[in-house]
Amino acid sequence: MKRLHVHVAVRDLEASTRFYSTLFAAEPTVVKADYAKWMLEDPRVNFAISAHEGAAPGLSHLGIQVEDAGELEEVYARLQKADRPVLDEGATTCCYAKSTKSWIADPQDIAWETFLTTGESVDYGTGPELSRIAADPAATGQRCCG
């Protein structure tokens, strides 16, 4: 079963963690110095927040998280039909997780990722510069999700 992913850049991680924990009536499943994530079942969403210098507060990106390689292939095939450039990032580390992922920007230039999480990481990781995905699908090498 797929899960919607929402990632929000925040100014104050501690205050935002308290707010979202109250809103969701749940504590985060992952907490780091610059990141928190809730894996909620109702609604089924992977909701993440992060605080990084230079990142504007607000919506960072959206995504679809899958549970197995078959679902990833299914969603990736839909990306290919979306008539937009696709960045196939492949195996990567981002948001303290190891995953296989691809990126696309919607017509409003909102970045969407499709990904299968394969493990945890002690590092935040690197990835594409989200603001450049629509214009340049080869935009890589920045702090992930930033």
- At residue 134 the predicted structure's pLDDT band, cuts being 50, 70 and 90, is low
Average pLDDT over residues 118-122: 87
Comparison of pLDDT for 71 and 133, the residue scoring more: 71
What pLDDT score does 35 carry? Answer: 96
CA distance 29 to 130: 25
Per DSSP, the three-state class of 59 is strand
Please state, in angstroms and rounded to a whole number, the distance separating the CA atoms of residues 5 and 1.
Answer: 13
Predicted TM-score (pTM) above 0.85: no
pLDDT band of 64, cuts 50, 70, 90 = very high
- 37-41 LR contacts (CB < 8 Å, sep 24+): 37/95, 39/3
The Cα–Cα gap between 125 and 15 comes to: 24
Tokens 């920045």: give the residue.
142
Alpha carbon 81 to chain centroid distance? 21
Best CA proximity match to 24, nearest among 45, 3, 9: 45
- The Cα–Cα gap between 135 and 117 comes to 26
Helix, strand, coil shares of the chain as percentages rounded to 5? 20, 45, 35
